[in-house]
Amino acid sequence: MIYTLDVTKDLPLGKTVIHALRGITMHVEAGEMVGIVGPSGSGKSTLLGIIGGLDTPTSGIVKIDGIDISRMNEDQLTEIRNEKIGFIFQFFNLIPTLTALENVALPIQFARKPNFKPNQRAKELLTMLGLGDRLNHRPSELSGGQQQRVAIARALANNPPILLADEPTGNLDSESGRLVMDTLRQIRDDVGTTIVLVTHDRELAAQTDRTITLVDGVIDSA
C-alpha cells in the first residue's frame, strides 16, 4: 500500500543543507497500523509528509497504492492526496466557526462524490466515533479528545485507503490519547484503513502492529 525505496530529503538551511532523510526503504501493507518513532529531529514528519504527497523526495521512489508519486507535480499530488490520503495533525486544524458536522461535511462537498451525501455521511462518521450528540458543537465547545475525533472523522470523510497521523495524541492528556488510539485501531479493524502514525509515546507506539524507528534520517535496524 505504501512503499519507499532509498528515499532521501535534503532541506536547505541558510548556506548549508540538512540531510533530513538519508535513504529510507520501507513498506506498509494494506490494513496495517504502523508507528513511526524516534527522537526529535530524526525525520519522522519529513517522512510522513513525503509518503502523504505533501512534499517530494530529493531522490528515491515513493509508491502509494502502486502509483509512483516521487516525481509528480503539485496538481498530480493534490489529486493523489484527495483520492488516497486522510491527514490528522497534532493541532486538530478544525475550522473554528463551523460545527463538528460542518467541519466533516466540508471535504465531502469539495470532493463531489455523487454517492456521498455530505451531511448524512458526516453524521454517520461522527456517530461512529461517539460524537453523535455533539454534531452542532463548535470546536471551542468540545474537549481536546473530542476535537481530535472530529478531525479523524474529517480525515475519513472521503473514505481514503490511507490515514496518516503526526502526533495525533501529542496535545491530549493520556486518557484522551488512549481513546484516540482506540478509535484509530477500531477504524483499522472495521474499515480496513491503512494507518501510519508518528508518536513520541512508547506506550502508544506499542499499540500499533509494528514500529519503524528513525534515527538521524535513517531506519534504526537495531
Ligand X SMILES: Nc1ncnc2c1ncn2[C@@H]1O[C@H](COP(=O)(O)OP(=O)(O)OP(=O)(O)O)[C@@H](O)[C@H]1O
Residues of this chain that interact with Mg ion (CB under 5 A) are 45
Considering the rule CB under 6 A, would residue 11 count as an interface residue with ligand X? yes
Considering the rule CB under 6 A, would residue 20 count as an interface residue with ligand X? yes
State which residue, 125 or 164, has the beta carbon closest to ligand X: 164
Tell me which of ligand X, Mg ion, none is bound by residue 106, counting a contact when its beta carbon lies within the kind-specific cut-off of 5 to 8 angstroms. Answer: none
State which residue, 18 or 111, has the beta carbon closest to ligand X: 18
State which residue, 14 or 96, has the beta carbon closest to ligand X: 14
CB of residue 171 vs ligand X: minimum separation in angstroms? 13
What is the rounded distance in angstroms from the CA atom of residue 153 to the CA atom of residue 51? 21
Tell me which of ligand X, Mg ion, none is bound by residue 221, counting a contact when its beta carbon lies within the kind-specific cut-off of 5 to 8 angstroms. Answer: none
Binding mask 27-46 for ligand X (x = CB under 6 A): -----------x-xxxxxxx
Neighbour order of strands in the sheet with 59-64: 16-28, 2-13, 59-64, 67-68
Per-residue CA distances from 167 to 62, 97, 150, 220 (Å)? 22, 24, 16, 20
Considering the rule CB under 6 A, would residue 199 count as an interface residue with ligand X? no
Considering the rule CB under 6 A, would residue 147 count as an interface residue with ligand X? no
What's the burial of 92, exposed, middle or buried (CB within 10 Å: 0-12/13-18/19+)?
buried
CB of residue 166 vs Mg ion: minimum separation in angstroms? 6
State which residue, 4 or 42, has the beta carbon closest to ligand X: 42
Specify the pairing of strand 67-68 against strand 59-64: antiparallel
State which residue, 11 or 61, has the beta carbon closest to ligand X: 11
Q: Are 36 and 47 in contact (CB under 8 A)?
A: yes
Tell me which of ligand X, Mg ion, none is bound by residue 11, counting a contact when its beta carbon lies within the kind-specific cut-off of 5 to 8 angstroms. Answer: ligand X
Helix or strand or coil: residue 60?
strand
Considering the rule CB under 6 A, would residue 153 count as an interface residue with ligand X? no
Reported as half-sphere exposure (CB side, CA atoms, 13 A), residue 134 has a value of 23
Considering the rule CB under 6 A, would residue 26 count as an interface residue with ligand X? no
What would the 3-class secondary structure string for 174-215 be?
A: HHHHHHHHHHHHHHHHHHCCEEEEECCCHHHHCCCCEEEEEE
Footprint of ligand X on this chain (CB under 6 A)? 11, 13, 18, 20, 38, 40-46
